[in-house]
Amino acid sequence: MTTTPEAAYRLAQVNIARLKAPLDSPQLKDFVDALDPVNADADAADGFVWRLQDESGDATDVAVFGDEWLIINMSVWRDMKALTTFMYQGRHREMLARRREWFERVAEAMTVLWWVPAGHRPTVAEAEERLLHLRTNGPTPYAFTLRATFPPAPGDPRPLTGEIPEALGCSV
């Protein structure tokens, strides 16, 4: 019995956001209050596999790019359909509609997708690398977007060599 690429791989996603105010500020109260319910919805969603979380059950204390004003959301899903179905319904959709109240507009890519072997749990360093690769090279099988996707393929796509900027030198 052969395993199809779809069964052998899962879709990893990360998005980061630059806060407009501290998490404990009145401006972000609605966002913070919605974290647990939205995360519970994700955990129960069809096709959900895993999400990054700290001891509190979310990832608001997880450092990304060494910037205390950035927060990270990283998860793994069965496939693109499972991810987008969750993203655009219910409480998550309501949160997306209000994101400009809580997060700065940033010109560069803040979301990246990539395929991981089933059972793999991506690290923050891996997510940072994929996001930097996307910013430098645009969508590729190594790092892509919701608008420019690539199917899972046997083997691990390699980054374009010599093209990934140093994280510390990157403006986020």
Alpha-carbon gap, residue 70 to 14, rounded angstroms: 12
What's the domain range around 70? 5-137
Residue 155 inside a domain? The answer is: no
Strand 48-51 with 70-77, pairing: antiparallel
Residue 157 inside a domain? The answer is: no
For residue 49, the one-letter residue type is V
Q: How many CB atoms lie within 10 A of CB 153?
A: 12
Q: Report how many domains make up the chain.
A: 1
CATH at 101 = 3.30.70.100
Residue 56 inside a domain? The answer is: yes
Q: How many CB atoms lie within 10 A of CB 147?
A: 6
pLDDT at 98 over 80: yes
Contact (CB, 8 A) for 71 and 19? yes
Contact (CB, 8 A) for 135 and 144? no
Q: Indicate the helix (H) or strand (E) that contains 30.
A: helix 29-44
Both tokens of 4, joined, read: 């199809």
Percent of the chain with pLDDT over 70: 89
Residue 115 inside a domain? The answer is: yes
Residue 166 inside a domain? The answer is: no
Residue 104 inside a domain? The answer is: yes
pLDDT recorded at residue 6:
61
pLDDT recorded at residue 158:
74
pLDDT recorded at residue 5:
55
pLDDT at 164 over 70: no
Residue 32 inside a domain? The answer is: yes
Buried b (16+ CB within 10 A) or exposed e, 8-40: ebbbbbbbbbebbeeeeeeebeebeebbeebbe
Residue 98 inside a domain? The answer is: yes
pLDDT recorded at residue 163:
45
Alpha-carbon gap, residue 122 to 76, rounded angstroms: 8
